[in-house]
Amino acid sequence: MSRCVCGAPYLWICLPVALLLVAAVLPASGGCPKPCACSGPAEVRCAFKHLTAVPEHLQAAVERMNLGYNSITVLRENDLSGLENLEQLMLHSNAIHSIEDRAFQDLKLLQVLKMSHNKVKEIRKETFKGLASLLRLHLDHNNIEFINPEAFYGLTNLQLVNLDGNHLQQLHPDTFITMRHSQVFKLSSIRNIHLSDNLLTTLPADMFSGCSQLENVFLHGNPWTCDCRMKWFPVWAQRNTGVLKCKQDRRYPRGQLCPVCQSPSHSHNQQIDLLPSDAFTCVKPWIEPHLKQKNISLDEGDFTPVSPKDFIAPLGSIELNLADQFHSDVSLSCTVQRPSAFENLTQTLEEEEGHNVTMLSTAITTYLVCNTDYEHIQQLWQILAAYSDSPMRLERGLMLARSPEMMYSYSQIKTKEGDEEIHTNIEAEVKATPAWLMQGEVSFQLDRTTTTYSTMHIKYQSVVNLRVEGTSPKRDRYSWTMISRDNQTKTEHTVLVGGVAQLNCHVQGEPKPLMEWILPDGSKVRAPFSSDDRRIIITAEGKLTLRGADASDTGLYRCIATNYLDADILVFRVTVLSLDVEEADVNGVQVSKLLGENLEFDCSSSGSPEASIHWILPDNSVLVESYAYRKLYKNGTLLIQGLTARDRGFYRCLAANHLGVDLLVSQVTLNEEKPNVMILDSEGSGMNMEDKVGRSLTERTVTLNEIPSSSPFDSKSQESKTVTSDRPYPRLRLQDRYRGGSRVRLGQRRIGTGNRRIWSSRVFDQASRKVDPHKFAELMKKAQGGSKINSGAEKERETYKTQMALSNSFLVMVKMVLVKTILLQSQGKNL
């Protein structure tokens, strides 16, 4: 082979030679790029050469290239084009912050890509496109915040992904999926996943379910939140013993660094895989009882879980004709939810008559959502009632029909002697799409917790064996959506009556997802949206603005992103508090302080996820983070340095998470050091007077506490910064509601009532925002219809009492209407 190792300045000498020797084989640009060293055409070594870009004129013959320890900042689409023989590419320790799409497209034989210690921020869908042979991908110690869930899809040989030391806060469950079949079965070839030292708090339950070949997972150094969302994790870890790895290092206690929980506090620093499953709970927040004289109950709105699954188009349908030994036939028509998790998934390649066939085998669990017709509901219940604690296991028999659709007979599998299982000689005729749902053995089990009067939920389980034609699965249609969540995502909002709340729901996905919201009254709207009275406005980008809040706006606002095959939900809680506080509301302490003193209020709480703490101050601003002389610590403690006249009044601490809220109300009275110093006086002097007093007191405060005089009283900027609302609140309004006692105690003059007018104009027409009364009546009728059936049924059916209290059933019905709508839409699509 030609060994023309010459630098660019001499290229003019070399070139003719090179041309002579290899003109027919290689492009004219042969040679070792300056200032690199090459040992033969297969190896280019350019480490430590101060390169600012990938060298030009690389030979197609190169198999290994080291560009490590340079100053490359960008990888352009054509930088690596034509390097079809490259097997190993080292780009570590550069300053690469962006990789253009398809930059690696030609590297069909690349097996190792090392990009550690760069500044990459984002992995896009086409970043690694074309790397069909890639085995090892090192992306550790970059600034990666986002990985497109399709980024590794199609890299069907990928075995190792190292993402240690990045800024990841959220991952889509399909991130590590490298192939899929029939739009349902997701698989991953990945064996080693490194996610240490990121900012992950939680992982979706299906994160590793397609990764049947997983050998090592590293998760330490993340601030894990061990609440109900991670309940799946210890179960997974136990089932996949030895896969979760700790970092071995003598510097750490017990010689290793393992993933531990950061919160909730009772699990702090506990090793996540060793925590018992029941430690992973979600509970509403409680402010420490020792801080409270009594409990205040607040309207929180109902919490009925809504699952993203309800917004995903079903997989198919099943029709069942059932009979047992006592009863005549009944039929059930069900849609089949899309299964998201698979167990024991294996893929094998079998050669059959000269072509390769992929065989998939996996255990699937999914749910059937079945409409019940009222006439036969009693019979249906009689047949199915027995199968809610243990499943009905059926075995396939004869094919009853081949076309237009296949139909099989099934019969119940005989129980063995001494077996606990119930046996009622079930015979069934089953028709299903997709046909692979009709496996040799299937089981059905009634899910009592979600079954309602009008809809039965039946768990379907089977081990599915499936033939997938062709050697390489074609790129399946792909669909993903995800609502961004990071450490800036604010899901708990507190707003005072008349104020403004702004909820931000940032949706990503492909194809572009629809955005819908379920409002506290149960109504569902599609973005963009504006309520009739224009108090609630939702932009297409996902910003919901609530203006002129009133108590009925309290509750959950769910943002839903769906593109039919994938869906995500983010739940916001808005708590609207009244402007008025009275002494009777105080359930915390009543303290008397001197002007200029510091004030510290504890508001420790427990809750999972950990509660957000908001303080509503006497001037009716909502403090969510420290501002000026008011410090809000992580533990909920409020510290006011240098009390001024404005700081007297009621302090409300609201602890909130998605499950509920708790409230602590305290009162501060202020005394002069020397009584009568304050010029108190003239009735009705109003806000101006207050300002004057405030300012004179500031000066005093400064001398007492050495606070820079510029800090405290810019109330406008303070409010715009700390308040969930962007409107200024009338300060000290509550005084005009004071009953004699407290006014005397505060030694205060009366404040003008002028502000009241501002608020009276904010009373909105309630009726206009209620659920459509027509719709509501319809839903109520349905609910009542259901309850009649219940009361008519026999006593034994009492066990069947749906778990849903009637009060809850409203949202459930909304859910169902939704599911049906989606169903109809998707059926429409398929036609």
Ligand X SMILES: *[C@@H]1O[C@H](CO)[C@@H](O)[C@H](O)[C@H]1NC(C)=O
Which whole-number Å values give the CA distances from 637 to 460, 624, 633, 650, 653, in the listed order? 50, 11, 5, 15, 9
* From 129-137, 171-179, 536-544, 632-640, span contacting ligand X (CB under 6 A): 632-640
> Are 769 and 549 spatial neighbours (Cβ–Cβ below 8 Å)?
no
Residue 343 CB coordination number (10 Å): 13
Minimum CB separation of residue 443 from ligand X in Å reads: 11
Which structure tokens are listed for 238? 């136990």
> Are 136 and 110 spatial neighbours (Cβ–Cβ below 8 Å)?
no
Residue in 277, 295, 753, 825 binding ligand X, rule: CB under 6 A:
295
Residues within window 427-446 making contact with ligand X, judged by CB under 6 A:
none
- Rounded to a whole number, what is the distance in angstroms from the first to the last CA of the chain? 61
Q: Which value, in Å, is the radius of gyration of the alpha carbons in the chain? A: 33
User: What gap in Å lies between CA 355 and CA 330, rounded to an integer?
Assistant: 45
Minimum CB separation of residue 223 from ligand X in Å reads: 8
Minimum CB separation of residue 157 from ligand X in Å reads: 12
Minimum CB separation of residue 164 from ligand X in Å reads: 16
Minimum CB separation of residue 624 from ligand X in Å reads: 13
Q: Which is nearer to ligand X, 635 or 825 (CB)?
A: 635
Which structure tokens are listed for 273? 């895989």
DSSP secondary structure, 622-642, as one string: EESS-BTTEEE-TTS-EEESS
Minimum CB separation of residue 166 from ligand X in Å reads: 10
> Are 544 and 520 spatial neighbours (Cβ–Cβ below 8 Å)?
no
Q: Which is nearer to ligand X, 296 or 823 (CB)?
A: 296
Q: Which is nearer to ligand X, 110 or 291 (CB)?
A: 291
Residue in 289, 708, 741, 773 binding ligand X, rule: CB under 6 A:
289
Q: Which residues on neighbouring strands pair with residue 556, listed in sequence order?
A: 573
DSSP type of residue 762: T
Residues within window 552-591 making contact with ligand X, judged by CB under 6 A:
none
Minimum CB separation of residue 296 from ligand X in Å reads: 9
* From 75-83, 630-638, 739-747, 757-765, span contacting ligand X (CB under 6 A): 630-638
Q: Distance from CA of residue 319 to its chain's centroid?
A: 34
* From 226-234, 576-584, 631-639, 812-820, span contacting ligand X (CB under 6 A): 631-639
Q: Is the peptide bond before 609 cis (omega within 30 degrees of 0)?
A: yes
Minimum CB separation of residue 380 from ligand X in Å reads: 27
Minimum CB separation of residue 633 from ligand X in Å reads: 4
Burial of 757 (0-12, 13-18, 19+ CB in 10 A): exposed
Q: Which is nearer to ligand X, 364 or 645 (CB)?
A: 364
User: What gap in Å lies between CA 704 and CA 700, rounded to an integer?
Assistant: 6
* From 108-116, 290-298, 782-790, 797-805, span contacting ligand X (CB under 6 A): 290-298
Window 315-344: contact mask with ligand X (x via CB under 6 A) = ----------------------------xx
Q: Is 662 in the site for ligand X (CB under 6 A)?
A: no
Which whole-number Å values give the CA distances from 731 to 54, 242, 651, 690, 753, in the listed order? 62, 60, 14, 10, 11
Minimum CB separation of residue 366 from ligand X in Å reads: 13
Q: Which is nearer to ligand X, 342 or 764 (CB)?
A: 342
Residue in 174, 516, 602, 719 binding ligand X, rule: CB under 6 A:
602
Residues within window 779-818 making contact with ligand X, judged by CB under 6 A:
none
Minimum CB separation of residue 351 from ligand X in Å reads: 6
H helix or E strand, kind and range, residue 262: strand 261-263
Sign of CA dihedral 256, 262, 265, 266: negative
Window 248-287: contact mask with ligand X (x via CB under 6 A) = ----------------------------------------
Which residues fall within 8 angstroms of residue 34, CB to CB, at 6 or more apart?
7, 8, 9, 55
Residue in 371, 465, 530, 635 binding ligand X, rule: CB under 6 A:
635
Q: Is 167 in the site for ligand X (CB under 6 A)?
A: yes
Q: Which residues on neighbouring strands pair with residue 630, listed in sequence order?
A: 627, 640
Which structure tokens are listed for 88? 């190993």
Three-class secondary structure of residue 331 per DSSP? strand
Residues within window 469-488 making contact with ligand X, judged by CB under 6 A:
471, 487
Q: Which is nearer to ligand X, 356 or 803 (CB)?
A: 356
Window 88-127: contact mask with ligand X (x via CB under 6 A) = ----------------------------------------
Four-point Cα dihedral 275, 279, 280, 281, nearest 10: 180
Q: Which residues on neighbouring strands pair with residue 393, listed in sequence order?
A: 443
Q: Which residues on neighbouring strands pair with residue 662, listed in sequence order?
A: 655
* From 28-36, 229-237, 289-297, 493-501, span contacting ligand X (CB under 6 A): 289-297
Residues within window 603-622 making contact with ligand X, judged by CB under 6 A:
604
Q: Which is nearer to ligand X, 156 or 539 (CB)?
A: 156
Residues within window 189-208 making contact with ligand X, judged by CB under 6 A:
199
Q: Is 300 in the site for ligand X (CB under 6 A)?
A: no
Minimum CB separation of residue 597 from ligand X in Å reads: 16
Residues within window 339-368 making contact with ligand X, judged by CB under 6 A:
343-344, 349, 351, 354-356, 363
Minimum CB separation of residue 167 from ligand X in Å reads: 4
Minimum CB separation of residue 112 from ligand X in Å reads: 22
Identify the CA nearest to 358 among candidates 341, 346, 370. Answer: 346
User: What gap in Å lies between CA 474 and CA 472, rounded to an integer?
Assistant: 6
Sign of CA dihedral 745, 747, 749, 755: negative
Residues within window 134-153 making contact with ligand X, judged by CB under 6 A:
145
Residues within window 483-522 making contact with ligand X, judged by CB under 6 A:
487
Give me the residue label for tokens 């009546």: 777
> Do the strands 122-123 and 146-147 form a parallel or antiparallel pair, or are they unpaired?
parallel
Minimum CB separation of residue 428 from ligand X in Å reads: 22
Which whole-number Å values give the CA distances from 489 to 228, 483, 571, 612, in the listed order? 19, 10, 11, 12
Q: Which is nearer to ligand X, 84 or 343 (CB)?
A: 343
Minimum CB separation of residue 376 from ligand X in Å reads: 32
H helix or E strand, kind and range, residue 558: strand 555-562
Residue in 48, 252, 326, 633 binding ligand X, rule: CB under 6 A:
633
Tell me how many residues contact ligand X (CB under 6 A).
23
**Max CA-CA distance within the chain?**
106
User: What gap in Å lies between CA 463 and CA 466, rounded to an integer?
Assistant: 10
List contacts with ligand X (CB under 6 A): 145, 167, 199, 289, 292, 294-295, 343-344, 349, 351, 354-356, 363, 463, 471, 487, 602, 604, 633, 635, 637
